[in-house]
């Protein structure tokens, strides 16, 4: 029995695009509004707000390449065994990693996600 290549349905593709755009928008907001603003960094030295905690958490995560590693692990799992959920999670981590300073590993993950479209998929109908 031949399996079709991994290709989400139209409804699933819309959800994937929306979640990917959300992750990209969140990463852009965090980078340009929280991380690169020196006034936010100076204010966070004296204040402890949710914004400052988010900033500190993101700095700790990208200094350990957590976004890139998560994207790469998700893309490898997607390449081995394609699924919609793993593709969505890997895409979101890739979007965040590309924007928030983990672009080497996230770029590799993006390439692996593209290659995963050529993999046979058991969930395919038809």
pLDDT above 70 for 124: no
Ramachandran assignment for 89, one of left (phi > 0), alpha (psi -120 to 50 degrees), beta (any other): alpha
CA dihedral 112, 101, 22, 109 (to 10 degrees): 10
Q: Please state, in angstroms and rounded to a whole number, the distance separating the CA atoms of residues 125 and 6.
A: 10
Question: pLDDT at position 126, please?
Answer: 53
Answer whether 0.85 is exceeded by the pTM. Answer: yes
Q: Which long-range contacts (CB under 8 A, 24 or more apart) does 88-95 make?
A: 88/15, 88/16, 88/19, 88/20, 91/16, 91/19, 91/20, 91/23, 92/19, 92/20, 92/22, 92/23, 93/23, 93/67, 95/20, 95/23, 95/24, 95/27
- Whether 9 shows a pLDDT value over 70: the answer reads yes
pLDDT band at 6 (very low <50, low <70, confident <90, very high): confident
Q: Are 78 and 116 in contact (CB under 8 A)?
A: yes
Average per-residue pLDDT for the chain: 91
Contact 66, 27 (CB under 8 A): no
Q: Is the pLDDT at 100 greater than 60, yes or no?
A: yes
How far apart (Å, rounded) are the C-alpha atoms in residues 67 and 71? 6
pLDDT of residue 125: 57
């Amino acid at each position: 029995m031949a399996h079709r290549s991994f290709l989400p349905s139209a409804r699933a593709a819309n959800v994937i695009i929306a979640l990917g755009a959300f992750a990209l928008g969140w990463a852009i907001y965090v980078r340009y509004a929280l991380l690169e603003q020196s006034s936010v960094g100076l204010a966070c030295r004296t204040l402890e707000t949710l914004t400052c905690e988010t900033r500190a958490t993101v700095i700790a995560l990208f200094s350990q390449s957590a976004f890139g590693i998560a994207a790469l692990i998700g893309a490898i799992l997607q390449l081995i065994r394609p699924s919609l959920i793993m593709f969505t999670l890997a895409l979101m981590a890739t979007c965040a990693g590309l924007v928030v300073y983990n672009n080497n590993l996230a770029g590799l993950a993006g390439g692996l996600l593209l290659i995963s479209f050529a993999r046979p998929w058991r969930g395919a109908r038809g």
